[in-house]
Amino acid sequence: MSPGRGALRRRDFRLLWAGESVSQFGSAATRVLLPLIAVDTLDAGPFTMGVLGAAAWVPWLLFGLPVGAWTDRMRRRPVMIVCNAVSALLMLSLTATVALNLLTTTQLILVAALSGTADVFFRAAYSAYLPTVLPHEELADGNARLQTSESVAEVVAPGVGGTLAQAGSAAAGFLTDGLSFLLSAALLLRIRTPEAPPGGEERTATERSLTAEIREGVAFLTQDPFLRTILLCDAAMNLFLGGAQSLSILFLSRTVGAPGGLIGVLIALAALGGVLGAVLSPHLARRFGTARAVLLCAFCGGPFGLLIPLTTDGVGLLAFLIGEFSLMAAVVAGNVIIVSFRQAYCPPDMLGRVSSTIRFVMYGTIPVGSLLGGALGTLLSERNALWLLYAANALSALLLLTGPLHTTQNLPTPPLPTEKEDEVTP
């Protein structure tokens, strides 16, 4: 195969990519379908939507820290397969209750929490597993392709989810998502690349306590100024974006008056920004340097979110489309650069712990933000709450100036114990 194909030259990465692409399609449809069902069928209000949004992310507060140490003690591929199987069963349970007209808000919240728990374990294993199938020099290409697939799914699938909700075919949507998880598990089973022994050859799971391993991962993260500064900014942004996302579908449906099918189309078109961001991220990193590209994405993307509260019916829907498109492009472009940096920068035997500590903080702010959004929506109205949340998100970019990112062109390469000066990527 041609060397120019980068990560796609590798069979096992193609299997991983294909499985995730299929699974992301089903999940993207469900992310629109589930809240629309809650609003239109179960008559959920702002606070209920906040609770529903928070339920999927609360597991990060419960398991976010220890899951990294657990996955560093286990082979990552079996963890991912089990998580996909559990997620499939949860989606199939929704299929059955919708078909029997037995669906309740309580079940939606419970399924969101359990599937969120599976996602905690899957993401910890997944992030640490990618370097097993790709060498360091191809991680950026692999992450860009995975992010592109996710963004493409966000373009195609929401329209399908919205149409299914409007047509009363939620069972078909949940069934599709369940089958996509099963297909992803089947593709993971075909990967042949052997994994290194968990925790490295010199350490067994009994030699060190779980608490010590978690503490080591937290210490590495908090003592590194680049990782610490990026995490601080990302956590703040996730807090406010989590609140905004918990209200967005309710805002479009009840305040703006858009039907479910049109909401799905709007979200799908806005997700094209994520595709653009994934495609542009390697070019931005080469043109400006990785550190400057992260700053560019953070400072240029946030202000576009302030267009979203201006949304009205008819032509006014363009405010939502332009704002969400631009915000998605900036967020995805920055994420591709940051994730690739972290995967290459962290020691392999600590990657699971460091990644999970980061996700514990980043994703742990989302349920807080969702509840905040629900409370603000109840007290101030959805539109006024969105003004506050998107303004705070834009201001969060200033946190990047508290660390060393603005003093260098590129994020650093892996640190060596004897180094006196930081190296930078070419």
Q: Would you state the pLDDT for residue 59?
A: 85
What pLDDT band is residue 296 in, cutting at 50, 70 and 90? Answer: very high
Q: Is residue 2 part of a domain?
A: no
Q: Shortest CA distance to 66 belongs to which of 117, 140, 4, 3? A: 117
Is residue 200 a part of any domain in this protein? no
CATH number at residue 167: 1.20.1250.20
Please check whether residue 425 lies inside any domain of the structure: no
pTM of the model: 0.72
For residues 248 and 394, the answer to whether their CB atoms sit within 8 Å is no
CA distance 72 to 65: 12
pLDDT in tens, 245-254: 889 988 998 8
| Residue 10, amino acid | R
Residue 92's domain comprises 8-194+211-407
Asked if residue 415 is part of any domain, the answer here is no
Which residues does residue 412 pair with via DSSP β-bridges, in sequence order? 424
**Mean pLDDT estimate for the chain:** 82
Q: What is the pLDDT of residues 207-219, one digit of tens each?
A: 456 677 778 878 8
Question: Does residue 55 fall inside a structural domain?
Answer: yes
Is 202 among the domain residues?
A: no
Calculate mean pLDDT across residues 15-41: 77
390 contacts 305 by C-beta, under 8 angstroms? yes
Domain-located, residue 165: yes
Q: Please report which confidence band the pLDDT of residue 279 belongs to, taking 50, 70 and 90 as the band edges.
A: confident
| Residues pairing with 424 in the sheet | 412
Largest CA distance in the chain: 66
Total tally of structural domains belonging to the chain: 1
Phi, psi of 424 (to 5 degrees): -125, 155
Tens digit of pLDDT for each residue in 217-236?
A: 788 888 889 999 999 999 99
Q: 392-403 burial, b for 16+ CB within 10 Å, e for fewer? A: bbbebbebbeeb
Residue 412 belongs to some domain of the structure: no
* 281 contacts 288 by C-beta, under 8 angstroms: no
